[in-house]
Each structure stands twice: as C-alpha cells, then as structure tokens.
Chain A
Amino acid sequence: MIDPTIVGKRITNSTPFTVDQGAITRFCQAIGEHDDSFAPPTFAFTFIIAAFEESLQDAGVDWTRMVHGDQRFEIREPIKAGDRLTLSSTVESVRSAAGNELVSVRADIERDGREIIQAWSTLVVRG
C-alpha cells in the first residue's frame, strides 16, 4: 500500500541547475532528433524522474513493480542549453484501480522565476 498521506507533499530544489548542450545533444541522438538547438518536449523528464523518486521515498512504493501510466507536458517555452532551472514536484493523488495503485505527480519547472514547463505523470504500481 502506498502511504496516502504523501498527497500534497511538495519538493523544491531551490538551487538552480544548469542545462548543458551535451545532455540535450545526447538525448537528441538517442531519440533520432536532428535539431538539438532546443530540448525535445520530453527531455524534462530526465530530471523530473529524480524528483519523483524523492517524493515517493519512504512511501512504501515497490519500484520493481512500477510502470509509467501516462505523461503529459505543457511547454510555454522550450528548454535550451545554458538555462538555469528550478524544479518542484507535488504529489497530487494516490488511488487504487483494477488491483493497481496509481500515484499522480506534477512537476513545475521555472527559469529565472518564470514557469516554463509543467508536467503531469501517473505512475502505476502493478498489483
């Protein structure tokens, strides 16, 4: 059972991290994207995932049974090399459906105090 009291838990990295061109380029190469002047729309998940793991630490999640249920992004401005970003993640819900447990988490990404990307994920722990 996932601990339902984690709903509302918010984690913020207040120290900005800098996106380097190498990380964008490697990601583009792995997905067959030729244009690496901006990050592809799903690139943000490469650092969102660590925040999710932190959010769900000690919540009784069996990571070996975890799969990704859904994912969506709203991108006001794409990420590019040199961006200094901060990231918050918030657990929005925990619920059961069809014998599985579902956790929904939102990530908010800011550049210079301005929100540029929001991402919503549902993670499924297979029953």
Chain B
Amino acid sequence: MKFTVGEVLPNRTFSIDRKALKAYADASGDQNPIHQDEAFARSVGLPNVIAHGMFTLALGGTYISDLIGGPSKIRKFGARFTKPVVVPADEPAQVEFSGTVASIENGIVTIELTALHGDQKVLGMAKAEIAID
C-alpha cells in the first residue's frame, strides 16, 4: 500500500438490512432488542429499529482493511456515534464510507473517515491509524 497526504480514498457503500443486524447481533453477542424488534425500539422512543453503532464502526473497519490489505496493521480506530442508522423492515439502510489521508508520520498513516447515511454523518471524528513498514 502506498498513500500520499491529502489523498482521497475510493468510497464504498454498505447496505444494512434486518438480516445483517441479526447476523451482527449473533456474532457480537449484542442482542439489545432496539436492533431487532421494531415494537420495542418504538416503545423506547426510537423511530424504528436502529443498527448497532458498533456494527457501523465495524463496517468502517472493513472499509479500511480492504484498502490496506487486511486488518492486522490497524493500530488505532474509533469514532463518535453522532446519528443512528435507522433500518426499516422493507428498506435496507445505505451507509457510504469515504476516507482522506490526513497525515503520514513515523510509520503511521492516519485516515479520516466519513460515514454518510443519506445526507447525515453517522460517525464523528472517525479515524484510523495504520502502521506501515
């Protein structure tokens, strides 16, 4: 992998449906019903079922991993969860990731990530630091 400061990385859209939420719940152990049960989600004041924030963040990890050839070089990774990704039963939610190379210093490439659901940023201050040889 070869990066330059300021480089804009190719964007990628992930589609999240209810089946994907169930698969993430099973794989992560997070069975909170707000991510699967529409009636429950509404009963606690949410507009509908929402994706696990950690699922959205994990997809950002996949986005980075595919760009750099695997997850093992990611040294720092994180974000704020600024808006929920609402997942209606009949309409998968789309989350579009893009990235910019913010710096390359001391063997570390810092990538700033943007995750958009419609026109809303669902992650804030999202950043990955990658070790390069």
A72 contact from B14, B55, B79, B84, Cβ within 8 A: B79
Residue numbers in B under 8 Å from A35 (CB-CB): 65, 69-72
**B61 contacts A68, CB within 8 Å?**
no
Residue numbers in A under 8 Å from B45 (CB-CB): 126
Q: How close is A59's CB to chain B, nearest CB, in angstroms?
A: 18
Segment of A9-17, A25-33, A104-112 engaged in the interface with chain B: A25-33
**In the complex, A96 has a CB within 8 A of chain B:** no
Residue numbers in A under 8 Å from B24 (CB-CB): 30-31
**A71 contacts B28, CB within 8 Å?**
no
**In the complex, A57 has a CB within 8 A of chain B:** no
**In the complex, B78 has a CB within 8 A of chain A:** yes
**A67 contacts B77, CB within 8 Å?**
no
Q: Would you list which residues of chain A between 65 and 93 have a CB under 8 Å from chain B?
A: 65, 67-76, 78
- Distance in angstroms between the alpha carbons of A109 and B28 in the assembled complex: 17
**In the complex, B26 has a CB within 8 A of chain A:** yes
Residue numbers in A under 8 Å from B10 (CB-CB): none
Q: Would you list which residues of chain B between 23 and 52 have a CB under 8 Å from chain A?
A: 23-24, 26-30, 32, 34, 44-45, 52
Q: Residues 47-80 of chain B: 1 if any A CB is under 8 Å from the residue's CB, otherwise 0?
A: 0000011110111011001100111101111111
**A72 contacts B30, CB within 8 Å?**
no
- Distance in angstroms between the alpha carbons of A43 and B21 in the assembled complex: 16
**In the complex, B20 has a CB within 8 A of chain A:** yes
**A29 contacts B77, CB within 8 Å?**
no
**A38 contacts B71, CB within 8 Å?**
yes
Q: List 10 A-B pairs, minimum CB-CB distance, nearest first.
A: A72-B78, A30-B27, A70-B80, A38-B72, A68-B53, A35-B70, A41-B77, A31-B58, A30-B23, A26-B27
List 17 additional contacts besides A40-B62, A46-B29, A71-B79; criterion CB under 8 Å.
Answer: A27-B27, A29-B27, A30-B55, A32-B59, A35-B65, A42-B58, A46-B28, A49-B29, A64-B44, A67-B81, A70-B124, A71-B54, A71-B78, A71-B81, A72-B76, A73-B77, A78-B72
